[in-house]
Structure 1
Amino acid sequence: MRAAVIDGKEIGAKMRAEVAQEARALAEEGWQPRLVSLMVGEPAAAELYVRNQRRSAESAGVEFEARTYPAETSLEQLIGIVQGLNADPRVNGIIIQRPLPDHIPVKVLQKAVHPLKDVEGMHPASIGNIVYNDLALGPCTAVAAVEILKTLPLKIEGLEVCVIGHSEIVGKPIAFLLMGLGATVTVCHHMTRHVAMHSRAADAVFVAVGKPGLVTGDIIKPGAALIDIGINRVETPDGPRTVGDADFDSCAEVAGWITPVPGGVGPVTVATLMKNAVLATRMQKEQYREMFARTDV
Structure 2
Amino acid sequence: MRAKIIDGKEFAERVRMQVGAHVARLKDDHGLTPGLAVVLVGEDPASEVYVRSKGKMTVEVGMESFEHKLPADTSEADLLALIDRLNNDPAVHGILVQLPLPDHLDSDLVINAINPAKDVDGFHISNVGLLGTGQKSMVPCTPLGCLMMLRDHHGSLSGMNAVVVGRSNIVGKPMAQLLLGDSCTVTIAHSRTKDLGEVCRGADILVAAVGRPEMIPGDWVRPGATVIDVGINRIPHPEKEGKTRLVGDVDFASAKEVAGAITPVPGGVGPMTIACLLANTVTACCRANGLEEPEGLTA
- Pair in the same fold by TM > 0.5: yes
The answer to whether the 8 Å contact 1:19/1:275 transfers is yes
Distance, in Å, in 1 between the alignment partners of 2:150 and 2:137 is 19
Give the gaps of 5 or more residues in structure 2.
292-299
Which shifted more, 278-287 or 139-148? 278-287
User: What corresponds to 1:241 in structure 2?
Assistant: 245
Deviations 1:32-58 (A, max 9, x none): 111111001110111121122123212
Aligned counterpart, 1:280: 284
Q: Which amino acid aligns with 1:18?
A: Q
User: In the aligned structure 1, how far is the partner of 2:247 from the partner of 2:59?
Assistant: 27
Moved more, 195-204 or 134-143: 134-143
1:56 aligned residue = 57
Q: Does 1:172 align with 2:173?
A: yes
Deviation of residue 154 (structure 1)?
A: 5.8
**Which deviates further from its counterpart, 82-91 or 232-241?**
232-241
Q: Which runs of 5+ in 1 are unaligned?
A: 288-297
The amino acid across from 1:145 in the alignment is C
Q: Is the 1:4–1:258 contact (alpha carbons within 8 Å) kept by the matching residues of 2?
A: yes
1:260 aligns with 2:264: yes
Q: Is the 8 A contact 1:188 1:195 kept in 2?
A: yes
- Compute the displacement of 1:62 (Å): 1.6
RMSD of aligned Cα (Å): 1.4
Q: Deviations over 1:87-134 (max 9, x none)?
A: 111111111112211111211110000011111111111111112222
Structure 1 residue 23, shift from structure 2 partner = 0.9
Alignment of 1:24-43 (within 5 A): 24-28=24-28, 29-43=30-44
Deviations 1:241-272 (A, max 9, x none): 12111111011111111101111111111111
Matched, 1:122 2:133: no
CA distance, structure 1, for counterparts of residue 143 and residue 283 of structure 2 = 17
Q: Structure 2 CA distance, aligned partners of 1:199 and 1:155?
A: 21
Structure 1: how far apart are the matches of 2:185 and 2:58? 35
Q: CA separation in 2, counterparts of 1:60 and 1:17? A: 7
Contact 2:95–2:119 (CA<8 Å) still a contact in 1? yes
Cα deviation, residue 141, structure 1 = 0.7
Tell me, yes or no, if the aligned pair for 1:31 and 1:285 is still in contact at 8 Å.
no
Cα deviations by residue, 1:186-229 (Å, 9 ceiling, x for unpaired): 10023311111110011110011111011110111011000000
- Using the size of structure 1 for normalisation, the TM-score is 0.93
TM-score (structure 2 length as normaliser): 0.93
Query: Hey, which bits of structure 1, 4+ residues long, moved more than 6 A?
Result: none
Identity of aligned residues (%): 41
Matched residue type, 2:285: T
